Amino acid sequence: MDKDILGMLAAYREGSIDLGKLKTWIAAESPRITAQLPRGQFLKLRHGNDYARMAAIARLLPSCEKCALVGAPRQFASRQEYDDYSKRRDASVASGTLRSITPPLWTRDGPHTAEAVMYYTCSICGSIWAFGEPERAENGFWERLA
């Protein structure tokens, strides 16, 4: 994928450009973009809701090694796994790699609206992460949202 596409997706994720500008750019560059992106990801960028659009961006833009130190995105299999991820997340926050953020508005379209979820952004690559607390039979999760 060329740097222009990566740059526009990163700018949208960061909030540097709005949805109107992204859609105008996608329409103008459609042949070039469709040649480089999987069809499903292109359609989510062009026609999806905010949550689907950010999920597509998460699949298209790489995360960095620093935010990956917390661990691979996953539903936790146990409370012990939750505790392990929690310690690594806390260490990443303390080092300044991850920064706590308010829930992005587009997360209201996502599946985790009723859960106790904390949101983080990576100061290195700009990825947006969600850390779900355990509830009842669920053990929590670590998910890259954008």
Closest CA to 145 of 118, 127, 133: 127
Which tokens is 87 given?
A: 């310690």
Q: What percent of the chain has pLDDT over 70?
A: 95
Q: Residue 105 — pLDDT band, cuts 50, 70, 90?
A: confident
Which tokens is 96 given?
A: 């300044």
Beta bridge partners of 54: none
Average pLDDT on 24-43 reads: 94
Task: Enter the pTM of the model.
Answer: 0.85
The per-residue pLDDT for range 39-77, each reduced to its tens digit, is 999 999 999 998 899 999 999 998 999 988 999 999 999
Q: For residue 41, which amino acid is it? A: Q
pLDDT at residue 25 tops 60: yes
- The pLDDT assigned to 1 comes to 85
Average pLDDT on 26-46 reads: 94
Beta bridge partners of 129: 120, 144
Reading phi first (left if > 0) and then psi (alpha if -120 to 50, else beta), residue 64 is in beta
Which tokens is 16 given?
A: 């540097």
